[in-house]
Amino acid sequence: MNFRGLFERLSTMAADPLLLAPLDDVALSEETVFALRAKNVLDALLFRFTADLDKRGVAKTLGADSTAALLQSVQVSPAAAHRYVRVGRALGSIPSVAAYAVDGTLSGEHVDAIVKGLHHIDRRDPDLSESDRDDCVRGLLTEARISTPAAVIERAHEMAIAFSPPDKETPDAENDELNEVSFGTGDDGRTHGTLDLDKTLGEKLATALRPLAKPVPEPDGSPDPRSTPQRLAEALGKILDVFFAHHDRPVEGGVKPRVTMTVSAEQLLAFQMNGIAGAKVPTAPATFEWTGPVSVPTAQMTACDSVITKILLDNHAVPLQVGREFRTVTPAIRKALIARDKGCAFPGCGCPAGWTDAHHITFWSHGGETSLANTVLLCRRHHNYIHHKGWTVFLGHDGHPWFIAPGKTEPMRSHARRTLTNEPLAA
């Protein structure tokens, strides 16, 4: 198998500005369909690769926490990485679905919807007979060939209800083992999610939200223009505000979780000068830690009612002033590290700051101090690279971390775009 050669040929084709010139409309449509089928086949191949990587434990061998984490280290998005692992593990037990995947009939998203749908059915009725489960697979395959992935999931939910025995010891509505919550940031920058809760947790949620979601008349006495979903969303925000105001909330990365927005001094000044003629608009956007850049109005509103931690940066965006030295990093040093490294500093990694450790460049046991100049943020996998796989890290003249691979002399700079990597699995 020479996938590298195939990749190079496809890359050359994709970069050819004259590739589509000789095609009429019909031919262009046919080639598009063929390319989509080829993408589906490639997804099926990646499902197999991922399943084998997972079965062999390659991720642990290479120092990653999981197969999904290994895929993310080579620029696969978290959602896609978990899909490859989830489907790869499942396809071996549903050969009929695997057969439709390898000929390009079904997209990776459709195959994933079938896998998730079957998982939902299995959780609702773990004692489902083999013949009934086969009927479910055939039904979901039929739905996938004529409809959307969302429709496949909906069909699976209908099947789970239909096959669920009425005399369960614990009714599905009261079974907390079936609870699921998922959310993430979509392409539009908004957070999308779903929840499926048992009666007790659902009752708690309704009890907490309803009083905060009551309609509030307008100042002129007219009815509240917000819809019920809008009022519930605002109520959720109020509950989160109470959580962040609570002093006993759990810690993450050694500090209490809080919404973090990074802004420059220029941006803060612009917020203060807002509305004044001639005031400059900041060029660089303010950014949230998890959901990314935000508009000036949102940044201004957030800064209006926030605790501001001042971190002095030099021309290379390296913090200069932080707190005192301790065995473990102080909250002040960690905030400065987040401002400098933005997350795991290892080239090619995109792990968020909340999931990183503060590594001593000169080990504490070797006399290294706990200071900004001697620490760097690393995810658990790349922390392991430094301690056990021969990688070294140092701060360059620009004040940012640089890394040297085992047996090499050429350093690689920590890069905010996370596009550099020496990983053998990198495409």
Q: How does pLDDT run across 231-250, given as a tens digit for each residue?
A: 898 888 888 877 777 777 76
The mean pLDDT of 381-396, rounded to a whole number, is 84
The mean pLDDT of 408-422, rounded to a whole number, is 63
SS3 of 144, please? helix
Gap between the Cα atoms of 349 and 414, Å rounded: 9
CA-nearest of 91, 89, 93 to 101 is: 91
- DSSP string spanning 389-408? S--EEEE-TTSSEEEE-TT-
> What's the sign of the alpha-carbon dihedral 387, 378, 185, 290?
positive
Query: pLDDT (tens digit, 9 = 90+) per residue, 203-236?
Result: 999 999 988 888 877 767 788 888 999 889 888 8
Pull the structure tokens for residue 239: 């509950």
- Give the model's pLDDT for residue 314: 59
- Give the model's pLDDT for residue 328: 62
pLDDT band for 380, please (50, 70, 90 cuts). confident
pLDDT band for 426, please (50, 70, 90 cuts). very low
pLDDT band for 257, please (50, 70, 90 cuts). low
- Give the model's pLDDT for residue 65: 84
* DSSP bridge partners of 319: 313
Query: pLDDT (tens digit, 9 = 90+) per residue, 111-158?
Result: 999 999 999 898 888 888 899 999 999 999 999 999 999 999 999 989
pLDDT band for 332, please (50, 70, 90 cuts). confident
Query: pLDDT (tens digit, 9 = 90+) per residue, 16-74?
Result: 888 888 888 898 899 899 989 999 999 999 999 999 999 999 998 888 888 998 998 88
> Domains, the chain, ranges and CATH?
24-166 (no CATH), 261-304 (no CATH), 331-413 (1.10.30)
- Give the model's pLDDT for residue 88: 93
- Give the model's pLDDT for residue 48: 92
- Give the model's pLDDT for residue 300: 67
Gap between the Cα atoms of 74 and 185, Å rounded: 20
* DSSP bridge partners of 412: 403
254 or 85, which is more confident = 85
